[in-house]
Amino acid sequence: MSLGLFYALVGGGLFALGLAGLILQPRLLGKILAFNILGSGAFLVLVGLAQRGGTPDPVPQAMVLTGIVVAVAATALALALTRRLADLSGAAVLPEDDARAPANPRGPDGD
Amino acid sequence: MILDSLLPPLVVLSSFLPGLVIFFLDESRVRLRTTLNLVGAVTKLLLIAYMLWGVFHQQDFVFRHTVLPGFDLVLNADALAMLFVTLSAVLWFFTTLYAIGYLEGAPHRSRFFGFFSLCVTATVGVAMAGNLFTFFIFYELLTLATYPLVVHRGTPEALRAGQRYLAYTLGGGAILLVGIIWLYTLAGSVDFVHGGSLAALGSAHAAELRWIFLLLIAGVGVKAALVPLHGWLPQAMVAPAPVSALLHAVAVVKAGAFGIVRVVYEVYGVTFAQVLGVLTPLSWVASATILWGSLRALAQDDLKRRLAYSTVSQVSYIVLGVTLFGPVGTVGGVVHLVHQGIMKITLFFCAGNYAETLGIHRVSQMDGVGRRMPWTTAAFTLAAFGMIGLPPLAGFVSKWYLGLGALEAGMDWVIGVLMLSSLLNAAYFLPIVYRAWFKPQAGEWPHEHILARGRRETGWLLLLPPVFTAAAALAVGLFAAMPFSPLDWVQLIAEREYAP
Amino acid sequence: MAIESVAPLPWLVLLPLAWATLSFLLGPSRGAGIAIVGLLLQAGLVLLLAWQLTTMGTQHHAVGGWGAPLGIDLVADGLSVVMLLMTAAVALPVAIYARAWFVAKPAGAAWFWPLSGFLVAALNGLFLSADLFNIYVTLELLGLAAVGLTAATGERRAVAAAMRYLLATLLGSGAYLMGVALVYGTYGSVSLAVLGGLVESLPVVMLAAGLMVAGMLLKTALFPLHFWLPPAHGGAATPVSALLSALVIKASFYLALRLWFGVFEPLAAVSAAQVLGALGAAAVFWGSVQALLQARLKMLVAYSTVAQVGYLFLVFPLATGTPAEAAAGAWQGGVLQAVAHALAKAAMFAAAGAMILGAGSDRIDRLGGVGARLPLALFAFGLAGIVLMGLPPTGGFATKWLLLMAALETGQWWWAAVLVGGGLLAAAYVFRVLLAAFAPVPEQGRVTGVARSLEWTAFALATAGVLLGLFAAHVVTLLDVGA
Amino acid sequence: MNRWASVAVALLCAVLALALAWAMWDLPPAPVALPAQVAGSLAISGVEHPVTAVLLNFRGYDTLLEVGVLLIALLGMLAAGATPERMTALPPDPVLEGLARLLAPLMVLVAGYLLWAGAFRPGGAFQAAAVLAAAGVLLRLAGPVTAWTRPGRVLRLALAAGFVVFLAVAVLGLAQGAMLEYPRAWAGSLILAVEAGLTVSLGLTLAGLFLAGPEIPRGGPRT
């Protein structure tokens, strides 16, 4: 087994781990961490699988750089929203009832 | 000629465009709105007069626009189309006049007249549809345009009636659509062709074609108020009188009956339909509807409800005529399309006049109304006699040809249905006429809105339309043998349909 | 410069990026004017592109001059151009609407213009890209812009919805990225053109395709992955709701379609397609019933989107492993449904927004009097509803027609039942609103007027949805280019 | 979520991991060999390091959009609204502050080096920007820099500058025939210009992801 393939296998495991965490973690911070694990898994597969033959490949490396920046941006936005939500509702979790359109506590003022 | 092919869409647009403009007009622009209405109505009549002349001389007016591959929007002004177009355009003109008088000072008139025009647009489209797709398009448009008219008053009762109306008609539309598409996948064409186009498929698909026939007839039968699909019609009576007049005489119910005519004659072909054996069951349904409608009418005290059940019954004469195999039966059925329209619109105009002038809504309140409103009552009487089938009125001509057609088709039992139904007609119309003319007035009128001024018993815009249509009901019976009478025109259609 | 030499492809991405940046530089709540000008130019470019397509066929642009697989290619075929037309046709009226909306309701206005500029750029970029990894970047651009717009009112409900939406969209693109990684590892390229000739039925490719399509299902909110959609679409500022429901979910649907019937065609299994169809059918019924039960107008409209998304996925069973002619019809029907729904749903949200603004409440039972005071908005709502019901002669009908034909031609009558039944359910929830708005009000003058442009843009969008049905043949012709 | 559902999710994810491993285990070599193509075109790319060449030339379009992603993440944070300052107030620490003031210029220098080095060895705009952003975070934590809720005109210009330069270069390329096509002779300089712009903007944006949002309570951040 080449080093590249090893990375890729680890990446696959991290991806699955992240997926499980994203679904199962109740707290938003946990979900955000899980997303980062999931993303890292995908990056590892991208770089590792392409280099399983041993030759380094600059294309996936560049792609992963791009991907990391995107992930940083997404993480930052997620953290900001979490903080904002915690300020507004007092807890960094998603309200369970939201999908069912709760009554607006501030009265029927539309948007 | 390019212009000739543009005439059918122009006829459609002549009410669509004014309707669209009216919809966005401010409520206070009474004069502009009236002008637009009348300009549209008159333009339509002129266009139709020109086309009638052309169709008589075997000229074709066909418009075609491809919507999707294999799906053409076709407007074809054939003889049958022109019959219905003329009927609806003429009656629309009168109804517009009537509605202007009827709604004077009422709220939401822009909305009303906007949808009113859309409604006639849809009817004209139904009439000129050259294939089932086009028919379906306008058939559904008709549903949508009439819904706001039915709920126009906005009362809980009206809203309920509207809901029921939608449930029936949209359901019917969905069934119709499935039938059309099934037929199209089977036959590759759903064009209206003289003599039908399905005979070529032969008996290999007989079972499927019977199912499709059921779907199509059920789809259009909802609007034609065939029993047991008639439940929406009596409820829709909450609409203002001009709407009821239009619904019963011109637009909705007629579109359904007209659809049955098209399906039997020009999709299946009457000969092929006979071979498939689908006509006889349809004639049973029609007969049942005729008798059931009349029986229910007997039990109604509300004048408009009584008229509504009468419509259920009368429209099935058209369906019955269609099922009588042979040209005479065809004449009887199709000509009733016109005759019933003229008579029924008169009756609804009169009912509207009673309600609007004196607040009379029930048969039991009509004692002695003939002396207070002689012109209206005279018109009512003429139309009622026509419905019963007294000679020389329009209804007599229809029933005469239906009877002859039944004999020709060897379905003698239909005569019995016709006679029984005429008796029932008499039983629910004659008491009204008797009360109106011969009973003394019993106390005050329920709610007198419009006072008599000299010889004028009510507003002249309310009075003139029923008087004219009643005169027409007499004229089409008296002069049935004259060229260009409805009967003459229908005989032309029947000749073309049964031509070898 | 001759008009033939203008290359619309790169400009379709650069132009919205430029006006987005410019409006950011101008500062908070600024930039409506340049956005509208930019969108007008964009509409012109797309029309030019459509014309080029019909005369010269599929259009290509090799970014950086390298060409695939080293560089990234932009390709505009019929499907791309129809999607681009849809984007332009929705974004322009919505921009005009938004300009008036934020005057009346400033919540969420601050960074609306730059965010929506990036959103439009992402959409255009996604529809044009022929490179799997580049598509990933456009997906993320699109998703984050959409989340930012959702959260922008700063209200608790909106922020919670945005958070839920963000997690869903990140998970979706994460799964997609994993698929890209597997594909690159297997074939050494992410260019659609290169992969087109290489893809075969290997386990790793099946896994990649499964992950990518699943990611797109989540982003398109196909039942039962729709949980994030109603609060996000129902809770955002109205112009945002219109953009999200009309356009954003279509991007991921487009991608699912592109992949399934494009590079992954050799793997497409009838059984998987039937599953997608079944989920679509469940979405139609679940979404419609939920819409019927909502007390709030915008939530009703949002659940209607859940239902309408279901129709989109009927394409898969109808066009996978079926005879070529039926498959072509189903495919056309699916794309037309995406466009018809985009126009109608944007119109519906716009009209709903105007009605809510006028009535001062988004509760459906408080809409009484709207019919009298805001007839144009209500009319637009009704027209849009008719498109969604699939009644003739609208775009929704053309869609339903094509799908029904395909269903009956291939003997899959159960999908026909879904189409017909779904139309009736749509009628039920649309007329529920109309009924409420027709109801007379005891208090005179409770409903106030709104800016005219709010009503007119809704009406224009709805009319476009209707006219689409009459001119569907043109769209279908365009769609066939390069298909 | 109840226990059984959790177990089911965990099991499914485990199955996914195994499936991924099995699918990746014994793959034949990829039919397309991009590294060779990259190497073949490196000489005309304007830079010597292959990753930088891919990042800013061959797939520069990805990078252009990715800068957009960063910018909208920042916009999204700003749009979601300001939240009150939640940082626990540290006592003013002259040592910490002094150190930060000393380190910051040094970090800017390192960023400059990384930017320059990117053309021929690992490094480049992103690495440089990350260091710049770290400097910003450090200064914020140590005190001298305050948080910002709404960027002013100058700050907006700086935030967007990198993107604007990149866009301008993309448009410039159209004159050559394709978006982002660098003229051969100018490729190196243009890429450096883009990278310089990006370093500033990305550094600020990344720092902004940390700095943006908190509303400064009355009386300054430290009270």
Q: Where are the domains of chain B?
A: 279-500
Whether omega before C393 lies within 30 degrees of 0, making that bond cis, reads: yes
Distance from CA of A52 to the nearest CA of D (A): 8
Region of C27 please: left (phi>0), alpha (psi -120 to 50) or beta: left
Report pLDDT for D151: 78
Question: Is C151 within 8 Å of A50 when comparing Cβ atoms?
Answer: no
Residue type, D136: G
Is the CB of residue C14 less than 8 Å away from at least one CB of chain D?
yes
A-B interface (Cβ pairs under 8 Å ≥ 3): no
- For residues D25-47, average pLDDT: 90
DSSP label at residue D212:
B
Please count the other Cβ atoms lying within 10 Å of the Cβ belonging to residue D185.
9
Q: Residue B234: what pLDDT?
A: 86
CB-based burial, D137-168: b 16+ in 10 Å, e otherwise: bbbbebbebebbeebeeeebebbbbbbbbbbe
Q: Mutating which of C102, C163, C176 best tests the A interface, going by the most A Cβ atoms within 10 A?
A: C163
Partners of residue A5 in chain D, C-beta under 8 Å: 24-25
Q: What's the confidence (pLDDT) of residue D85?
A: 60
- SS3 helix, strand, coil % of chain D, rounded to 5? 70, 5, 25
CA gap C109, C95 in Å, rounded: 12
Whether C278 is in a domain gets the answer: no
More confident residue, B122 or D142: B122
CB contacts, 8 Å: D81 with chain C: 151, 154, 159
Q: What's chain C's average pLDDT?
A: 93
**Nearest chain A Cα distance for residue C330, angstroms:** 32
pLDDT in tens, C26-46: 988 899 999 999 999 999 999
pLDDT in tens, B242-260: 888 888 888 889 999 999 9
C-alpha distance from residue B404 to each of B285, B324, B330, B388, C163 (Å): 20, 10, 10, 17, 77
Backbone angles phi, psi at A101, to 5 degrees: 55, 75
Helix runs in C188-296, H state only: 192-196, 203-220, 229-235, 238-243, 249-260, 270-293
User: By the CB < 8 Å criterion, does D84 face chain C?
Assistant: no
> Using a CB-CB distance cutoff of 8 angstroms, which residues of chain C are in contact with residue A91?
none
Specify if C168 maps to a domain. Answer: yes
A8 Cα to chain C: minimum distance (Å): 9
* CB-based contact D24 A73, cutoff 8 Å: no
Asked whether at least 3 C-beta pairs link C and D within 8 Å, the reply is yes
- Is the confidence at residue D216, as pLDDT, over 60? no
CA geometry: angle B351, B353, B357, nearest 5 deg:
130
Q: Kindly give the confidence (pLDDT) of every residue in chain A, 111 residues in length, as a single tens digit, with 9 standing for 90 and above.
A: 789 999 999 999 999 999 999 999 989 999 999 999 999 999 999 999 999 988 889 999 999 999 999 999 999 999 989 988 888 887 778 876 544 444 443 333 333
Q: Which chains pack against B, by 3+ Cβ pairs within 8 A? A: C
CA B32 from chain centre, in angstroms, equals 29
**Do C300 and C291 form a contact (C-beta atoms < 8 A)?**
yes
CB–CB of D10 and A20 under 8 A?
yes
The 3-state DSSP composition of chain B as helix, strand, coil percent (nearest 5) reads 75, 5, 20
Residue in the structure block whose two tokens are 């915008």: C298
Task: Note whether C266 and C199 are within 8 A (CB).
Answer: yes
Contact D140, D212 (CB under 8 A): no
Highest mean pLDDT among B268-272, B388-392, C279-283, D197-201 belongs to C279-283
Query: Do B68 and C423 count as a contact with CB atoms less than 8 A apart?
Result: no
Residues 6+ apart with CB under 8 A from C22: C31, C34
Per-residue confidence (pLDDT) for residue B290, from 0 to 100? 93
Q: Same domain, yes or no, for C259 and C375?
A: no
pLDDT at D214 over 70: no
Please name the member of B110, B141, B181 whose beta carbon is closest to the beta carbon of C408: B181
Which pLDDT value is given to residue D87? Answer: 56
The rounded distance, in Å, linking the Cα atoms of C266 and B198 is 41
**D66–A contact, CB cutoff 8 A:** yes
For residue D34, the chain A residues in CB contact (below 8 A) are 57, 59
Residue C226: closest CA among chain A residues belongs to which residue? Answer: A99
Same domain? For C243 and C315 the reply is no
Sign of CA dihedral B413, B414, B418, B421: positive
For A70, which of C140, C153, C154 is closest by C-beta distance?
Answer: C140
Q: What pLDDT, on the 0 to 100 scale, is given for residue B420?
A: 93
Collapsing DSSP to helix, strand or coil, A100 comes out as helix
| Chain D nearest C-alpha distance from C351 (Å) | 25
Residues in C closer than 8 angstroms to B125, CB to CB, are none
Is D1 in Cβ contact with A24 (below 8 Å)?
yes
Residues of C in contact with D179 (CB under 8 A): 10, 13-14, 61, 63-64
For C185, which residue in chain A has the nearest alpha carbon? A50
Cα atoms in the 13 Å half-sphere on the side-chain side of C213:
25
* CATH class entry, domain A3-91: mainly alpha
Number of structural domains chain C divides into = 2
Give the residue-averaged pLDDT of C240-255.
Answer: 97
What pLDDT score was predicted for residue A103?
Answer: 40
C157 in Cβ contact with A104 (< 8 Å)? yes
Nearest CA in chain D to A76: D209
Name the maximum alpha-carbon separation found in chain D.
66
Structure tokens at B479: 């002069």
Q: What are the extents of the domains in chain A? A: 3-91
ipTM exceeds 0.95: no
> Which residues from C are below 8 Å from D156, CB to CB?
24-25, 27
- Decide which of C446 and C24 is more confident: C24
β-bridge mates for residue B49, sequence order: none
Nearest to A85 among C159, C186, C361 (CB): C159
D192 has a chain A CB within 8 A of its CB: no
Domain of residue C470, residue span: 286-483
My answer on whether C358 and C211 are in the same domain is no
Q: B168-202: string of b/e by CB count within 10 Å (b at 16+)?
A: bbbbbbbbbbbbbbbbbbbbeebbbebbbbbeebe
Note whether residue C279 is domain-resident: no
Instruction: Say if residue C197 is in the same domain as residue C342.
Output: no
Q: With an 8 Å Cβ cutoff, are C160 and A38 in contact?
A: no
Q: pLDDT digits over B341-388, tens only?
A: 999 999 999 999 998 888 888 888 888 888 888 899 999 999 999 999
| pLDDT < 50: residue spans in chain B | none
Query: Of D6, D35, D72, which has the smallest distance from its Cβ to A58's Cβ?
Result: D35
Q: Which residue among A28, A31, A74 sits closest to C140, beta carbon to beta carbon?
A: A74
| Domain-wise residue ranges, chain D | 35-215
In a domain, C274, yes or no: no
Token pair 């349909």 is found at B497
* Closest C-alpha among D94, D105, D102 to residue D143: D94
Task: Give the Cα separation of A58 and D50 in Å (integer).
Answer: 6
Query: Cα(C168)–Cα(B123) distance, rounded to whole angstroms?
Result: 50
Chain C residues in contact with A58 by the CB 8 A cut-off are none
Distance from CA of D10 to the nearest CA of A (A): 6
Report if residue C371 sits inside a domain.
Answer: yes
pLDDT of residue B200: 79
> What gap in Å lies between CA C330 and CA C404, rounded to an integer?
8
Q: How many CB atoms lie within 10 A of CB B40?
A: 26
Q: Any idea how long chain D is?
A: 223
The reported pLDDT for the residue numbered C84 is 97
Chains D and A in direct contact, meaning 3 or more beta-carbon pairs closer than 8 angstroms? yes
Task: For residue range C181-224, list pLDDT tens digits in order.
Answer: 999 999 999 999 999 989 999 999 999 999 999 999 999 999 99
Residue A92 contacts D where some CB pair is shorter than 8 Å: no
Tell me if C185 and D170 make a contact (CB, 8 A cut-off): no
Chain D CB within 8 Å of residue A94 CB: no
- Report the range of poorest mean pLDDT among A71-75, B202-206, C347-351, C447-451: B202-206
Chains near A with 3+ CB pairs less than 8 A apart are: C, D
At residue B197, the pLDDT reads 82
- For residue B438, how many other CB atoms are within 10 A of its CB? 10
C contacts of A108 (beta carbons < 8 Å) = 360-363, 366
Compute the distance between CA of residue C310 and CA of residue B126 in angstroms, rounded to an integer: 32
Q: Count of CB contacts below 8 A, B vs C?
A: 79
Mean pLDDT across C351-366: 92
* Inter-chain residue contact C420 with B178, CB threshold 8 Å: yes
CB of C75 less than 8 A from some CB of D = no
**Contact call for C148 and A77, based on CB within 8 A:** yes
* Nearest C-alpha in C relative to A57: C188
Q: Would you state the pLDDT for residue A98?
A: 45
Q: What is the pTM of this model?
A: 0.92
Asked if the C-beta of A55 comes within 8 angstroms of chain D's C-beta atoms, the answer is: yes
Q: Mean pLDDT in chain B?
A: 88
